[in-house]
Amino acid sequence: MKYNVKRFIEDITAQHAKTGQAQSRQTDLPPLPEPRIPLATYRLQFNGDFAFNQAREIVPYLSALGISHLYASPYLKARPGSRHGYDIIDHNMLNPEIGSDEEFERLCETLAQHGMGQVLDVVPNHMGVLGGDNAWWLDVLENGQTAAHAGFFDIDWAPIKPKLHGKVLLPVLGKHYGAALDNAELQLRFDAEHGEFGIYYFEHHFPVDPAEYPHILAFRMDALSVRLGEDNRLLMEYQSLVTAFHNLPSRGEVSPERQLERRRDKEVHKRQLAGLVAYSAEIARFLDENLYILNGKTGESSSFDQLHRLIEAQAYRLAFWRVASDEINYRRFFDINDLAGLRMENDEVFDATHQLLLRLIQEGKLDGLRLDHPDGLYDPEAYFFKLVEHCKRAGRAPYLVVEKILAADEDLRSSWPVQGTTGYEFTNLLNGLFVATSAAKRMQRVYHSFIGEHVNFDDLLYRSKKLIMKSALSGELNVLANLLSKIAEADRHTCDYTLNGLRTALAEIVACFPVYRGYINAYEVAPEDRRNIEQATVAAKRRSTTADASIFDFLREVLTLAAADGKSPAYAEQVLAFAMKFQQFTSPVMAKGLEDTSAYIYHRLLSLNEVGGDPRRFGVTRSAFHRANQLRAERSPHSMLATSSHDTKRSEDMRARLNVLSEIPAAWRLVLRQWRRTNRSLKHIVDGMLVPTRNDEYFIYQTLLGIWPAGEPDGNEMARFSARIKEYLVKALREAKVYTSWINPNVAYEDAVTGFAEALITSPVESAFLADFRPFQRRIARLGMFNSLSQTLIKLTVPGVPDIYQGCECWDFSLVDPDNRRPVDFDCRRTMLVGLQTLVAQASLQRVAGVRALCETLEDGRAKLLIVWLGLMLRERWPEVFQQGSYLPLAIRGEQAAHLCAYARRFGDRTVITVAPRFFVRLLGDAEMPPLGEKIWGNTSVELPSGLGDKQYTCVFTGKELKPQKRQSRWNISVAQILTEFPVGLVIGENGLAAEEL
């Protein structure tokens, strides 16, 4: 709904147009050409060990698999040694560690030769800083607010602390500033080639303000005069240069002309200094001596006084890393100090960061973009429209998906000009289909009984978000509170609200905010934004102990822009700026509080603790699953469908294993009791506490069940497995922030927990624990594979674009990053695919027998690969069915109806039917047979919609013809017929279809 802020919008439109905040929605522009929608993507993680050349080598394999688009992690120039590419330092260069321009071109050519395209993960929200390798950031540090790139970064130049006014806090020191200085860890150095001075701290480089160079150059000038002679031409040139540096306009200049003069002249003077030093060995030696003296002597604190004064005069404050949480004054990516937020709402920033991307789009080398962390942007919708507009100018329409985490009852904004999300919501929707919703309370009782306490997740999340704002993101909260205080002070009705009271109320509303963020802008306050703010305000009032509850009403009025009604344009602009910056803040608080704290504390069923998930939602009903797919088909039919990614906390196959626990809460309770008694002696006392705690122990058992290697691993594999588990547990414990954390590691506690896990893993096979654990785990693993096969087939056939994370076309049991970035054995997968191609090419009976035999060797992963390959081949053959076809839930009749999910995709005369079994515990009992044939499925049948009964139906996996039967005027296909040889069913119907076409 439109809000009546029109009175001040006109006054700020000119300024917003400059910064990109008032981006036109472009409704009157000519339509763009249609984007090339991927049929299927394959995510590759690029780094120094997997570069363009390695990717080019596997393109033929990906093409044979049925992938239409390579989906690449960021490969623009990032910090040296980056393993993920999100710490970009130059948006207009390819990362040299990943490959040269020529190697990139060869990759693009190879993709084109195979008819494939490319989707690139791009990072508009932030850049890598602090390492001394980001030219824009170094410009800001050298020149402060007058820097050409000062407006590129989201910096608060007037924070609450007066000493930080006009400065950027740099929390990089490993100890307190004074200690680092006295220990000679801060070193003043001279770059003779460029005529520049800088402060160095290990790998960090901080430029010195050129206007402060005279403090170095003129130090001990009398000694240089004696050495060269008063009338020496070089001395006079040197003295003149000192004066020139001294006369540079200061960092505080407000005149654009004087700022330009500073930028121009400082570079001229630097070149002159470099030339003078290169020409005169005496001057070079003199500067070396000055640096030696200024850098001080360890043990003599006063010898560092002049260096301290020089550092104090800079546009930055060097500080102990722990200071960041309270005093940081630049927006970061979450709480990562070396990732600084970009002001992408500034047109100049957009233009400077998108040159290469737009060229690659224009040249047809990129068909699509994955937009990383749009919730960090000031106005995501304005950015999307700006991107689309620039692509239009380039004559191309890219496929756009956003890395947006949607809350349980939240929809993607329909006004956004994107195809959909990267698929977190689908990850959790599909996973929930294999969780027995009826077991929610029983699993909760098992969990609470084991850990000996009741955990209310709502309260846990609230406390976790408050903890994040008190610790990691306290500085960002201070910035917001300062802005809010200025708004309050400007009105006599609100000027009595104190800074502390406003900060407290603000924290309460953020802690109670129900979604990651809102999207209010100068144009509208959407109804869902108003509802979320109202809900948060009511909840904050209820939880708050403050005496003056009216402060929450004031905050609500500001956040909904109602406070601007009838006020001056200047006041209204402050209100709008605060509301939008508030939205940038709620997202990292939710992410850190939910994903990186609460989800590492609450362990009822770990498969639910996924990025974009909600541990409170115990599974998804079949009808809810169908409704969600129908809505996606209507609203975002080309949204990405992910089951594993570089961000997921557990791989798809690991979650499929853990979901089996929801089917057996009683058995789970019994083994937990047994394992707790058996393993009590493996615990240790740390700080008077038995470690691991029961909650951590519960977490460890689930983790081992989900990731335990298949088959009979040898000693080397188990050693690697143990190392992976130990590294993961340390990360999980620190993310939980209960007894240890990244900020305050408790090594003794961590060692006790990892030692406990290692003792379990390395127990003798005949030990009491492994003798009980291994049979239970094998059963979980076996049933989990059937879950995996079903979810794989569903991902390939529901509305959307299926994405395969590298290696996950076969079994993959990985934990969170960096475990899920391990190298993939593509040679093995290539060989397996060739074998399957040979199998499917055989005569009918041999093919059927071969497919049936895959069920006897499930652990080798070929069954999953077969589903992926043939599913993608069908998408390639019938793209219109999957990209435009309707989604029809199919009724299931018979004794095992509850164990199936079935639906049809239909377009024209073509129909694709998916039959995916679930809940295998009750279906199979203790039998170790695969879920095949009439013995398992009895009289269960899938009912065909009207008009589909007279088609010729064929099983994609076996090539067998299937015969529908008519019962009581309705056509059905028996499940036993569909699932005679293979555990999942993919059936196609078309008049006159020949089996050999597949």
pLDDT tens for each residue of 644-664: 999 999 999 999 999 999 999
Q: Does the pLDDT at position 214 exceed 50?
A: yes
Give the model confidence (pLDDT) of 538-566 as tens digits.
Answer: 999 999 987 688 999 999 999 999 999 99
Name which residue leads in pLDDT, 20 or 705: 705
Mean pLDDT, rounded, for 513-527: 93
Beta bridge pairs of residue 915: 902, 985
- Tell whether the model's pLDDT for residue 27 goes beyond 60: no
**pLDDT in the model for residue 951:** 81
Strand 332-333, strand 336-341: pairing = antiparallel
Tokens linked to 5: 């802020």
Q: How far is residue 474's CA from residue 467's CA, in Å, rounded to a whole number?
A: 9
The token pair at 575 is 């209100």
Percentage of the chain exceeding pLDDT 90: 91
- Which residue from 63, 898, 45 is spatially nearest to 437, judged by alpha carbons? 898
Rounded mean pLDDT, 70-90: 97
Strands 196-201 and 187-191 turn out to be antiparallel
Q: For 845-886, what is each residue's pLDDT tens digit?
A: 999 999 999 999 999 999 999 999 999 999 999 999 999 999
Report how far residue 17's alpha carbon sits from residue 386's, in angstroms, rounded to the nearest whole number: 12
Give the pair of three-digit tokens for residue 634: 């209507």
Say how far apart CA 213 and CA 291 lie, in whole Å.
12
Q: What is the DSSP letter of 908?
A: T
Q: Beta 187-191 vs 168-173: how paired, if at all?
A: unpaired
Whole-number pLDDT of residue 33: 74
Task: Characterize the bridge pairing of strands 399-402 and 368-371.
Answer: parallel
Please tell me the distance from the alpha carbon of residue 912 to that of residue 926, in angstroms, as a whole number. 33
Nearest C-alpha neighbor of 729 from the set 748, 708, 751, 745: 751
Q: What is the mean pLDDT of residues 486-513?
A: 95
- The string of pLDDT tens digits covering residues 797-843 is 999 999 999 999 999 999 999 999 999 999 999 999 999 999 999 99
Reply yes or no: is the peptide bond before residue 692 cis, omega within 30 of 0.
yes
Which residue's entry shows tokens 């002597």? 297
Rounded to the nearest 5 degrees, what angle is found at the Cα of 828, between the Cα atoms of 826 and 833?
A: 90
**In this structure, what is the dihedral angle of CA atoms 806, 809, 811, 814, given to the nearest 10 degrees?**
20
970 vs 17, higher pLDDT:
970
Q: What is the DSSP letter of 825?
A: -
What is d(CA 111, CA 62) in angstroms, rounded to the nearest whole number?
10
Residue 299 three-state SS = coil
Query: Can you tell me the mean pLDDT for 594-619?
Result: 97
pLDDT-based confidence at 926, cuts 50/70/90? confident
Average of per-residue pLDDT across 625-653: 98
- Residue 189, φ and ψ in degrees, nearest 5: -130, 160
CA proximity to 196, closest of 226, 181, 176, 217? 217
Asked whether the predicted pLDDT for residue 234 surpasses 90, the reply is: yes
Which two three-digit tokens encode residue 875?
């998408």
pLDDT in tens, 161-190: 899 999 999 999 999 999 999 999 999 999
Task: Kindly provide the residue ranges of all beta strands, DSSP E only, lying in 138-284, ordered along the sequence.
Answer: 168-173, 187-191, 196-201, 204-207
Confidence grade of residue 991 (pLDDT, cut at 50, 70, 90):
low
pLDDT tens, 721-758? 999 999 999 999 999 999 999 999 999 999 999 999 99
Length of the chain: 998
Q: What is the pLDDT of residue 30?
A: 59
> What is the band of 705 on the pLDDT scale with cuts at 50, 70, 90?
very high
Q: Which residues contact 749 (CB under 8 A, 6 or more apart)?
A: 686, 687, 691, 733, 739, 740
C-alpha 729/C-alpha 752 separation (Å) is 11
pLDDT mean over 899-918:
97
Which tokens is 205 given?
């480089």
Residue 7's Cβ-count burial label (10 Å; 0-12, 13-18, 19+) is middle
Nearest to 850 by CA among 861, 837, 859: 837
Give the DSSP letter of residue 523: S
Q: Which residues contact 946 (CB under 8 A, 6 or more apart)?
A: none
**pLDDT attached to residue 32:** 62
Separation CA 915–CA 899 (nearest Å): 10
Tell me the whole-structure pTM to 2 decimals. Answer: 0.94
Residue among 951, 957, 796 at smallest CA distance from 879: 796
Cα 571 to Cα 493: distance, rounded to the nearest angstrom: 14
- Write down the residue that tokens 């410009």 correspond to: 139
The answer on pLDDT for 503 being more than 80 is yes
> Tell me, what's the pLDDT at 772?
97
Is the model's pLDDT at 6 over the cut of 90? no
Q: Tell me, what's the pLDDT at 26? A: 43
Contact 315, 166 (CB under 8 A): yes
Reduce the DSSP state of residue 641 to 3 states and report it: strand
> Cα–Cα distance between 850 and 863 in angstroms, integer?
11
> Two tokens at 299?
């043990």
Question: What value does the mean pLDDT take over residues 255-265?
Answer: 94
Indicate whether 998 pLDDT > 50. Answer: no
Q: How far, in Å, are 317, 607, 816, 934, 937 from residue 784 at the CA level? A: 54, 12, 19, 22, 19
d(CA 935, CA 38) in angstroms, rounded, equals: 40
Mean pLDDT of the chain: 94
* Averaged pLDDT, 419-440: 98
**460: three-class secondary structure by DSSP:** helix
Decide if 186 contacts 200 (C-beta within 8 A): yes
